[in-house]
Amino acid sequence: MVTMAATVDVSDSLDEARTRLIKTARALNGAWAASLCSMLGLVVASLALLLVAVTVRPVYVVIWSVLLAAAGYNATRFWPRRTPRSGRYLSKAERAALRGVLDPDGRMAWPDVVRLVPRPELELGEGELVLGMPLLACLDAHELRELLTVAAVQASVEDEREVRWALRVAHGDVGRQLVGRRPRLSWATLRITETLRSRAAALEADLGNWAGACERAAVAALRSSSRSGAAAQEARDQVADAWQLLQQEWLAPAFARGRREVAPFTGLRRFVEGADAAGWLGSPRPGGPTCDVLADLVARHEDTVARDLGPRHARLQAITWEEYPVEVELPRWRALVTEVLDAARRTTGDPAVTLDTVLVLLESGRSHELAEATAVERGLTPAHTTAYVEWHENFTSRLLTAAVAVAAVDSLHFKPEWSWPEGTRLVAEDGWELPLESVVAEVLGLVREGAGPAKAYGELREALVRLDIDVHEPLWLDHDLVERPERPIGSFAARQGLAPRMAIVTDRSLHVFQDTQGARLNRILGPVTQRDASFELRKRMLKVWQGDTGDQVLTVAAEDVRRARIGPATGGLWWRLTLSCADGTVVLRGRGDGLEEEAEVREWLGDRVERPWLAAAPAVRSVRNIVGLVGVTLGTLALLWGVLLTALSPSGMPDPLPAVLAIGGFVALLLAVLPDAVVDLVQRLRRARVSSVA
């Protein structure tokens, strides 16, 4: 897909950029063809061995058939696939209406797919138009038409067959893992695909150069018109900057508190309009989409596209922008003041929770100490350079703003309201607005100018008294708004791979620790040693509350789990827990039927847990376990005897016996896993049916 890049090599002309792009595309296609041919060579070699086995030694047919199937499946990794992409696809009627606005004269080949995404981008390529909702909500039809014209010129390079196929290879996940849940590529795959990855990166860089050259050419061609050719690009950059600010300042804090705005893109348009009216923008804006078709698309698909802003977006509580001050901003202020006073109380022992207490702490020069304490609680260390420095630099102003705002609201003389583009503001009953940012800036300015903290904060106290805000009045600090400690649910011993683990389940997370007292590998099938579960739970939870991660292997938060599955393994002697997360899959195994572990995991994750066989009747589960155990035992023994008899070839042995044993063992293993395969297929079909309906 061709992206409109903003930073490019300005020395590239259109012809130079196009020539370089085609050359890089051919190099990528050649590297892909070499990798695919090497994998197909393994398939041909396996097929030749199978044919030799059929004619010379039939007992090896099963072995070489399995090898041929594995080699064929391995070759499919190197064929580019079209991965599903997030976003909202427009219907045929909506595409036609959008084309009537953006391309009324039909000058360009309109794609069959139009996808709306929650990012400020407009891309045309690989047979689809990707249109960002921030741009659709804020730009007018003329600006979108100019951007689409540039994108069409950029996409014209896909008329070259080499470039079109190279784009598919670069975005086709070539060399992907055989097992989809593995988070990283293996060493062998990395070595094989090293050239592919380097040339795919070079293709992306040349695509950026080509996109920039097209953009400069389009701007130069439009300079003769009454409207500046760079106006659309400037408007796009303004919207992108505004969207980044909106996400950082308002959307991200709302997500952290379990809230989501029902109209984030409409809010972005109102923010841009408010910033334009306040004179914050360098060039005036036309005021958002003036076309009914564009406004209708925004209103119809805004909520659906907004759900792609985060993995937990659908589970968050919906609020409007007018509810934002009460639902998000004011609780954030209270939580920060509470956190700072709690940190100070550990050393001073002062139980007072007033605005004067906060001012005394700042006057005494303890802001750096408190910033460090609160940074540690947020997981910020000097290793997080940017976030750590930003937290320390803005801590005093952030704390002073929060403390004064909470005191003003608790005085009942001010109430929080929402306005564009400032955001949350404190308004009195007569409509007068408390200039909170100006007050804080003036106080800190006096401190920096050398007036001294005593004088600066003394003037602040006098100003607050004139506003009927009592600095000695206890603040209403709801400790429920501060993050509570995790509540333990239970614990169980398990294995991750071959390593023993101790898992602690809380109401928010799964903590996996190293288990130094776990059974050794030579006793893995022996009886489970009874241990004091309550003692283990108390000991591990104490480490969780203290933040001691010395022997903690990993932590899985409930909101990060996309799908959970727990049930007995084949044979019923072991249970298996699989947690599919955004950054990989966690697999734990343990002895027993898994019923107790399943109850703890269900209390943690709720109905998201799939329970194959655990929800079945005990008689059905017993039959399945017996079939699996007998099939695995007999199948393994039959295969081993088949290989052993083939190698030894004792005299008097019937010639077909090794082949019969090998085939019989293979069939027994298939029967052992058949019930699980059927249940898994049924669940996959059910999930596919539910997702298609949704």
pLDDT of residue 322: 93
Phi and psi at 448, nearest 5°, equal -70, -30
* CA 662, 663, 665, 669 torsion-angle sign: positive
Distance CA 597, CA 619 (A): 21
Q: What is the pLDDT, as a whole number, of residue 93? A: 92
| Residue 78 and residue 175 in contact, taking contact as beta carbons nearer than 8 Å | yes
Q: Are residues 464 and 512 in the same domain?
A: no
Q: Are residues 359 and 441 in the same domain?
A: yes
- Asked if residue 318 belongs to a domain, the reply is no
Burial 503-541 (b: 16+ CB within 10 A, else e): bbbbebbbbbbebeebbeeeeeeeeeeeeeeeebbeebb
pLDDT of residue 544: 65
What pLDDT does residue 6 have? 36
- In a domain, residue 74? The reply is yes
**Mean pLDDT score, 41-62:** 81
Domain end marker among 579, 614, 649? 614
Residue 586 sits in the same domain as residue 667: no
pLDDT-derived band at 592 (thresholds 50, 70, 90) equals: confident
- pLDDT at res. 300: 92
Task: For residue 588, name the pLDDT band (cuts at 50, 70, 90).
Answer: very high
> Are residues 297 and 391 located together in one domain of the fold?
no
| Count of CA atoms in the C-beta half-sphere (13 A) of 198 | 9
- The reply to whether 210 and 337 lie within a common domain is no
Give the model's pLDDT for residue 230: 64
Q: Give, in order, the Cα–Cα distances in Å from 334 to each of 341, 354, 355.
A: 11, 12, 12
Band the pLDDT of 114: cuts 50, 70, 90: very high
Task: Give me the residue label for tokens 């004091």.
Answer: 532
Say which range, 26-35, 536-545, 563-572, has the weakest mean pLDDT. Answer: 536-545
Average pLDDT, the chain: 81
Q: Is the pLDDT of residue 479 over 50?
A: no
Q: Which residue has the higher pLDDT, 378 or 21?
A: 21
Give the residue, 7 or 672, on which the prediction is more confident: 672
Say whether both 213 and 298 belong to one domain. yes
Q: Residues 467, 558: one domain?
A: no
Predicted confidence at residue 404, as pLDDT, reads: 92
Total count of domains within the chain: 4
pLDDT of residue 11: 41
Range of the domain at 689: 620-693
Indicate whether 564 belongs to any domain: yes
The answer on pLDDT for 627 being more than 60 is yes
pLDDT at 641: 83
Q: Average pLDDT, stretch 600-623?
A: 85
CA–CA distance, 185 with 584 (Å, rounded to integer): 12
Distance separating alpha carbons of residues 415 and 649, to the nearest angstrom:
92
- The two structure tokens encoding residue 625: 């376990």
Across residues 488-506, what is the average pLDDT? 86
The answer on 539 and 450 residing in a single domain is no
Residues 68 and 105 in one domain: yes
**Does residue 386 sit within a domain?**
yes
Domain boundary among 614, 636, 656: 614
More confident residue, 353 or 268: 268
Highest mean pLDDT among 178-182, 202-206, 423-427, 648-652: 423-427
Which residue, among 610, 614, 624, has the nearest Cα to 684 in the 3D structure? 610
Query: Among 30-34, 71-75, 105-109, 529-533, which stretch is predicted with the lowest mean pLDDT?
Result: 529-533
Structure tokens, 234:
């400037």
Say if residue 301 is in the same domain as residue 373. no
pLDDT in tens, 19-39: 888 899 999 999 999 889 988
Q: What is the per-residue pLDDT across 210-261, written as a single tens digit (0 to 9) for each?
A: 888 877 777 666 655 545 456 788 888 889 999 999 998 999 888 888 788 8
Token code pair at residue 685: 């079909």
Residue with tokens 């060579």: 41
The confidence band for 550, taking pLDDT boundaries of 50, 70 and 90, is: low
Higher pLDDT, 690 or 175: 175
pLDDT tens digits, residue range 500-537? 888 888 888 888 888 776 554 444 444 444 444 555 66
| pLDDT attached to residue 609 | 87
Instruction: Please give the pLDDT value at position 595.
Output: 86
Q: Are residues 400 and 290 in the same domain?
A: no
CA 374: distance to chain centroid?
Answer: 26
pLDDT (0 to 100) of residue 558: 86
Question: Which comes out higher in pLDDT, residue 131 or 552?
Answer: 131
User: Looking at the structure, do residues 538 and 599 belong to the same domain, yes or no?
Assistant: yes
| Per-residue pLDDT tens over the stretch 126-185 | 888 999 999 999 988 888 888 888 888 888 888 888 888 888 888 888 877 665 444 455
> Within 120-180, where are the H helices?
133-138, 141-155, 161-170
Question: Which of the listed residues 564, 595, 614 is the one where a domain comes to its end?
Answer: 614
Asked whether the beta carbons of 577 and 566 are under 8 A apart, the reply is yes
> What is the CATH classification number for the domain harbouring 585?
2.30.29.30
Section 398-403 average pLDDT: 92
Chain segment 285-344, per-residue pLDDT in tens: 665 556 788 889 999 999 889 888 876 666 678 899 999 999 999 988 988 888 888 888
